[in-house]
Amino acid sequence: MKKNLILLIMLIPIFFLHTVTLEESIITAKQNNQEQLAEKSGLEAVGWSKKNAFTNFLPKVSFNSSLVRIDAETYDELSSVYKIPIFNASGIPTGDYIPFSAAALSGGYYKTTYTNDITVQLPLFNGGKEILGYQLAGLAKQQVEKALIGKEKDLDYAVASTYMGLLKLQDLKILSEKSLNSTLSHLNSVQKKYEVGTAKYSDVLQWQVNKMNNETSIHEIDNSINELKGYWKNLLGAEGNELPDEIDIGSFDNEINNLAALNSDEILQKIVVFLEEVKQTSVTIQNLNLVNRMMEKNYKMAVGNFLPALNLQYTYQIESDDKWNLQGEDNWNLAALFSVPIFQSGANFTNLKKVKYELKKTEYETAWIRENYLVAAENTIRKLITNARIVLNNQTALELAEENHQIINDLFEQDMVTNTELLDAEIMLFSNEMNLVSSYYDFILTKYEIKKYTQQED
């Protein structure tokens, strides 16, 4: 009963584990990954920035209210009535006076004046800045959209890389455990022979060293698996214990054979077709083009600083009296504001020169990045073909290692070869098994690396 309980406790974690396919993993990562969610929020923000730029074309309406209080002394002076004497034709005062006050002349002053008005401002032309600003906002939105797609491609590759890494490590652990079991079997056999005097103690030591090496490899693989699981969980942004589902690496054999059989002309043609697709669909290339277009808009905006500006302003004054009741005398005015920059102390000219050379700098930089990007894309295709050939070479090497191991093992049973030769054959066999497994996963991962360069679906 106690043994059954212990076994049940050991199996409980397994019940809560479930596997996910690579496609499911990528979907989960896109939904939960924090970096991806941040990029989507950034896209929302730039969308509102574009809407904000459009408002520069629309009229601006404001209600303005002001209160002006005159001190008592000034008010008394303004309200005082002065007598201006009247002179006759001979310049002699007639004795009559003309009453005069500043308040009467100006229509009256209030000790406290309330003014309320509505102002409407409409931009007509400001050197093209409104149009260029809106176009720049549109390009910025496109740039963020392309960047989001690029981030999704990077995330796809990161998930695929981690997915394949976990599967490869799990397979390597199985092979290492298989190698350890084989080593233990040989060690047990050699120990028995040593006990009856048909084997040397050095033979026993060799297998013990190999046993320790196998155990070390398993510990290292376990540690790598645990590290990768933490990164995997962070990528998916999931709280569960999802693990990668196994894939049939043998299902890629036909594609591997076809790629490995390509001659130099066929490889060149495949590269040309792929690079053309990259130029047409790569979001990185498209973003480089957008950067150049945005800099061209900035240059045009700098040119616009030399152009005149024309704006309309309509003001409707509701009241201007000593009571805030919106019932005073109203009036309105319409003003057309026209401005021509004549001399700005060289600010516009120096800014134009600065933007001009920034544009040239950007063009050179984007051209350099584009060329390097295409070289990297070409290298990825070549790496895929190389990895296909490595898989075939490792398949052949494993077949030869298996045959060699069988021959050496038979000869060892007949005492025709040394223990060292058997150990070498054993190490060669398992090394080639591991090389083959690793080369398969390297090939599959390179296929996902290629998808980073194009818009092709996963």
105 pLDDT tier (thresholds 50, 70, 90): low
- End-to-end, the C-alpha distance of the chain in Å comes to 51
- Residue 114 inside a domain? The answer is no
| Distance, CA of 319 to CA of 330 (rounded, Å) | 5
- Residue 78 inside a domain? The answer is no
For residue 408, pLDDT beyond 70: yes
Tens of pLDDT, residues 165-215? 999 999 999 999 999 999 999 999 999 989 988 889 999 999 999 999 999
- pLDDT for the residue 104: 55
Tens of pLDDT, residues 240-297? 567 889 899 999 999 999 999 999 999 999 999 999 999 999 999 999 999 999 999 9
If one counts every other C-beta atom within 10 angstroms of the C-beta of residue 184, the result is: 14
Is there a contact between 319 and 326 (Cβ–Cβ < 8 Å)?
yes
Tens of pLDDT, residues 224-252? 999 999 998 888 886 656 788 989 999 99
95 pLDDT tier (thresholds 50, 70, 90): low
- pLDDT for the residue 107: 54
For residue 1, pLDDT beyond 60: no
Mean pLDDT over 135-164 rounds to 91
Element spanning 239, H or E: none
Question: What average pLDDT does the chain have?
Answer: 86
- Residue 172 inside a domain? The answer is yes
Question: Does the reported pTM lie above 0.85?
Answer: no
- pLDDT for the residue 8: 41
For residue 78, pLDDT beyond 80: no
Tens of pLDDT, residues 36-48? 888 888 889 999 9
| Domain extent for 152 | 18-68+123-308+344-451
- Residue 287 inside a domain? The answer is yes
CATH number at residue 411: 1.20.1600.10
| Distance, CA of 231 to CA of 237 (rounded, Å) | 10
Distant-in-sequence contacts of 426-430, Cβ < 8 A, 24+ apart? 426/179, 426/182, 426/183, 426/186, 426/210, 427/210, 428/401, 428/404, 429/398, 429/401, 429/402, 429/404, 429/405, 430/175, 430/176, 430/178, 430/179, 430/182
Tens of pLDDT, residues 308-362? 999 999 999 887 776 766 676 778 899 998 888 888 888 999 999 999 999 999 9
- Residue 234 inside a domain? The answer is yes
- Residue 290 inside a domain? The answer is yes
For residue 100, pLDDT beyond 70: no
- Residue 431 inside a domain? The answer is yes
- Residue 108 inside a domain? The answer is no
Q: Based on the structure, what is the number of domains in the chain?
A: 1
| Distance, CA of 115 to CA of 113 (rounded, Å) | 6
Tens of pLDDT, residues 411-452? 988 889 999 999 999 999 999 999 999 999 999 999 999 999
- pLDDT for the residue 243: 82
DSSP assignments along 99-151, one per residue: EE-HHHHHT---SEEEEEEEEEEEEEEETTHHHHHHHHHHHHHHHHHHHHHHH
| Distance, CA of 305 to CA of 276 (rounded, Å) | 41
Rg (Cα) of the chain, in Å, rounded? 42
